[in-house]
Amino acid sequence: MVRMSSVQPGGKGTGGQRSGAPARRQPAQAKRPPAQGQRQPQRQGAGGGKRPPGRPGPGGKASAPRQNMRVTAAPPRRYSPSTIAFASIGLVVVVVVALVIVKVSTGGSKNNANTSAPTVTVATPQLVSQITSVPQSVIDAVGTGAGTTAPLVVNNQARLTSGGKPEVLFIGAEFCPYCAAERWAIAMAMSHFGTFTGLKETFSSPWDANPDTATLSFFGSSFTSTSIDFTAVEHESNDTNGAGTRHILQPLTTQQQNLWVKYSQQFGIQTGYPFLDIGNKVFVTGPSYNGDGTLLGGLSQSEIAAKFTNPNDPVTQAIVGTANYLTAAVCSLTGQQPTPLCTSSGVHKAATALHLG
């Protein structure tokens, strides 16, 4: 008579292998070394697996309990795979729900009636003067500044001109926090080549990143210059009643739209704000410095402008450093005119960094 017995450690709920079934590997549990104090299971007939000593298996002879053998606690309880699976899913659900609850209870309060849309006022003459009259010593001391990102230079492009003059095109939006930071440097740089009238003061959206960043608005302003043409398009308005509640403020012309798409594509990014095209040669396609809460947060326009006389201030480093890059870029289109500015050490450093010198 052929007797078949598989060596099975009484696996949980499996009942062991059926007679005649092909040899299969045992679950990892079976290979685990016995816990301290436990007896090594002996191979024996069916039913003799990891049974506690002294308890005979069904139909099998129990090994006699050794004298003086200490009976220890049962092995740690294992959770079934389905319990672990559902616990994992539950954990994910709890985390997501917690995120939403935190958002609703904290972020939601920012959207209430206590937060109102930023107002737009005409910039004070003092503010305009502080932006347009940064001391040359500060410009030179700052150079390319600290924490700034250099604009991108593209050679061999058809020059962007308007009325025979090199054109600088800015596309931004009043809600946009990155534009809010960028406008300080743009206004500062462009004012070296012409005169602004009708500049406005405002803030970025209170419902967006870096909320309420103090800034200027080019909407409704004009710029006169004999050397360049500066076109500023505030494409979208500020938020009026919560995030995303904005509208088209200044439509783009087909040419502006095409330039925005073409060069964003060329740099491998989506069209976004801010976008600055300096004569189709130098481009800004995002924030040139991080104007977040640690830099511009909580500062008013006059507080920011008051820093422009201190070259060591981080705000000055960021804004004047960015402005020097932009100035160097425009100088490369104007034949290095005006000479005193374009050859100054601060602008020259920026031009060298951009390989425009």
Partner 1 sequence: MQPVPRWQPITAFVLSLCGFGVSMYLTIEHYTGGIVSCPAGGGAIDCQKVTTSAESKVFGIPVALLGLLFFTALLVVNLPPMWQVASRRLAQLRLAMVVGGMGFVIYLLSAELFVIKAICLWCTSVHVVTFLLFIVVVTSYAATSAPGWDDAEDGVATDHR
Contact residues toward partner 1 (CB under 8 A) are 2-7, 17, 21-28, 30-31, 43, 81-82, 85-86, 88-89, 92, 95-96, 99-100, 103, 107, 207-209, 242-245, 261-262, 264-265, 268-273, 286-287
Least separation, in Å, of the C-beta of 148 and partner 1?
Answer: 16
CB under 8 Å to 330, separation ≥6 — which residues?
166, 168, 189, 190, 192, 193, 228, 278, 279
Query: What is the closest distance, in whole angstroms, from the C-beta atom of residue 111 to partner 1 in the complex?
Result: 8
Which one, 39 or 262, has the nearer CB to partner 1? Answer: 262
Collapsing DSSP to helix, strand or coil, 248 comes out as strand
Residues facing 231 on adjacent strands? 169
Least Å distance, CB 229 to partner 1, is 25
Give every strand in the sheet of 200-203, ordered side by side. Answer: 121-122, 200-203, 214-217
CA 255/CA 335 separation, integer angstroms: 25
Q: Environment class of residue 291 by beta-carbon count within 10 Å: exposed (0-12), middle (13-18) or buried (19+)?
A: buried
* Closer residue to partner 1 (CB): 191 or 215: 215
Q: Based on CB atoms, which residue is closest to partner 1, 34 or 86?
A: 86
For partner 1, the closer of residues 210 and 324 by Cβ is: 210
Indicate the residue among 82 and 155 with the shorter CB distance to partner 1: 82
Q: How far is the CB of 59 from partner 1 (least distance, A)?
A: 16
Q: 56: which residues sit within 8 A by CB, 6+ positions away?
A: 62
* Residue 238 beta carbon to partner 1: minimum distance, rounded to whole angstroms: 14
**Alpha carbon 276 to chain centroid distance?**
20
Give residue 90's region: left, alpha or beta (phi > 0; psi -120 to 50).
alpha
Pair 151, 282: CB distance under 8 Å: yes
DSSP for 287-336, please give it: -SB--STTTTTT--HHHHHGGGG-TTSHHHHHHHHHHHHHHHHHHTTTTS
Cβ-based nearer residue to partner 1, 30 or 141: 30
Minimum distance from residue 78 beta carbon to partner 1 (Å): 12
- The closest of 275, 291, 276 to 178, measured between CA atoms, is 291
Nearer to partner 1, 31 or 70 (CB): 31
Query: Please, what is the minimum distance in Å from the beta carbon of residue 76 to partner 1?
Result: 19
Rounded to a whole number of angstroms, the minimum distance from the CB of residue 66 to partner 1 is 25
CA distances from 192 to 115, 172, 232 (A): 37, 21, 16
Q: Among candidates 147, 130, 123, which has minimal Cα distance to 325?
A: 147
Tell me the closest approach of the beta carbon of residue 23 to partner 1, in angstroms.
4
| CA torsion through residues 20, 24, 29, 32, sign | positive
- Say which residues have a Cβ less than 8 Å from residue 176's Cβ, sequence separation at least 6: 204, 205, 208, 236, 273, 274
Query: Which residue lies nearer to partner 1 by CB, 63 or 111?
Result: 111
